[in-house]
Amino acid sequence: MFNHKIDFKKNFLVRMACIIGLIIVVMPTVFNFYKSMFPSKEEVQVQQISYSDAIAIIQDKQISEIQINDDSSNEADLIDKEGNEYEVVLLDKEIFKNFIQEEIEAGQEIKIVNKESVSIADIMYIIFLTFLAVMIFRFYKIIKQTEKKTEEEIQKFRDTVQKEGLNNGTINQKETKKRNITPRNITFKDIAGLKEEKFELEEVVDFLKNPQKYKQMGAKIPRGILLSGTPGTGKTLLAKALAGEAGVAFLPSSGAEFVEKYVGVGAKRIRTLFEQARKEAPCIIFIDEIDAIGSKRDSSENTIEHNQTLEQLLIEMDGFETSEADGIVVVAATNRIESLDKALLRPGRFDRQIVVSLPDVKGREEILKIHARNKKFEDSVDFKKIAYNTSGFSGAQLENLLNEASIMAVRNKHEKISNDDIDSAMKKIVVGLSKNERILSEKERRLVAYHETGHAVVSMFMKTQDKVKEISIIGAGVVGGYTWYEATEDRSFISKTMLQEKVVSLLGGRAAEKLFIQDISTGASDDLKRATDIITKMIAIYGMDDVFGPISMNGEYKDYLESDSYSHELVNRTKELLCEAEKKATQILKEHSFFVEKVAQLLLEKETIQGEELDKMFSAYQNARAENIDA
């Protein structure tokens, strides 16, 4: 409960009193310094004399300097050669000046000084006082602004506390109703491509429906299920289908909901969620992106709130009593399982960890058919072929593909979605939006043509590389041209040869620029970045380099990877392997320069070459080359 009362007015008066007291202490020192630097006439002991005595000592040639006031007063100061100062009241200032001028012309040395009515010291003193007043006013404004900001922060905190129910320990009813969602319309039938994952969860469904059957065998329901995998693979959908299949309440949340800068708020939200779950049991608690609160703890002061929230989650998951825990399952999803705290992953909390992987070709076909239920397609559309051409796509990407194809069909005024609509949608997703209106100079068109031809030709001579689907010098996205590859098979593992040939293919564009244009451009920067990343991982993570040997510097050894000695060796070795790959790409292009020129010229003419046409050209070139060798 927050009940601190702060009297800002009282604090302000205290601060102002301190400032005024400081000024009172400092002012005498400043005044004394001023007096010592600019003493008054009384302190110098000025002697007052009559006008006649002043005329007499001037005629006796005893005066060296005369100071005459510029203002309307008739006072003057006389200083003799010994430094004594006299003050005289003049009868007539002009007559006195004429008299002094006559004495000077007669040979007497007298310095005449026009005395200012206000001295420089007085002006400086006034400036100092003005500056002091401005500073006091400025302090006043800063203090008032600070008080206003503090009041706003405290009010915001009070609102947050009231919203979370911390004032009286009650649960916010509005938020409780939001969480209580039962997605009975989503079941395992709505999920495709995740056969093994569904099989693991079917047991949990039976557990929630028939708990007594498992109790008789002494089995306990899993308290937590952790779903991990790349984004878009269907982790959230699996959690919803689990609740829908079991017919139990579904309490969704996100890890970000428990992240707050006020210590204790996140922990309170965790307690509120689990209190509700006990009332709604049997139910499923779903925490998406759990790495937001479940990442590894440290001793930094900035992570106090994070640590408290995580520890509250650990306590709640470990504190289920048998009577309360029946029918409560915590399902969490993350893309970064390696960042989670070890205490969260131990048995008794997240008992099961299910890796939700990308679908295979059969799974992709099933996913496509599910998302095609409410769409109209031409009879020629083959979902099996689409699945074959979308290797590496997640379920979310496949859904997006068909949605983009639907938009393309509407844009092209088609009554049904055609293969052309699907191809256009796939190109938009994989390559980017085509820039048909972008105008390139002839020099740039030639550079892009040879660059993309270099990629295509080099990859055609690499046995492990994917088939070229299309090459174009029409800009797409942020690139000036593209070489689009078509995956021929699903791959669970990638060999050393495949990675090496991939690097050679990536450097084919840069090698073609150097060989046929005699120059290099910034167009190869992304190719270099990807090639460098592959080589670095081959050396430091996959252990595929002959010089460094079978070593992996990932995970807990990552800090050593960034050390000066190791990183220097790694950079040198990476550079060496990249140069070898570029040299190999250059050799291929030199050896088959006739074919490169032919493809580049056709590309300049047509701007886009389909994979089928390129394959025919390649076959004709290979046959002609074989005939020449035989001859």
Residues 6+ apart with CB under 8 A from 457: 508, 512, 588, 589, 592, 595, 596, 599
Q: Which of 197, 316, 452, 501 is catalytic?
A: 452
Report how far apart the first and last C-alpha atoms of the chain are (Å, whole number). 96
Cis peptide, bond prior to residue 282, ω within 30 of zero:
yes
The DSSP result for 456-502, as a single string, is HHHHHT-TTSPEEEEEE-SEETTBS-EEEEE--S--S---HHHHHHH
Tokens at 289, concatenated: 């992106």
> CA quadruple 39, 43, 49, 53: dihedral positive or negative?
negative
Pairing of strands 467-472, 608-610: antiparallel
570: left (phi over 0), alpha (psi -120 to 50) or beta: alpha
DSSP H helices, 330-479, are: 342-345, 361-371, 383-389, 395-411, 419-430, 442-460
d(CA 559, CA 557): 6
CA angle, 209 then 212 then 215, to 5°: 125
Could you tell me if 452 and 473 are in contact, meaning their C-beta atoms sit under 8 angstroms apart?
Answer: yes
Could you tell me if 401 and 429 are in contact, meaning their C-beta atoms sit under 8 angstroms apart?
Answer: yes
Catalytic residue at 452? yes
Tokens at 363, concatenated: 């799974």
Q: List, by residue number, the catalytic residues.
A: 452
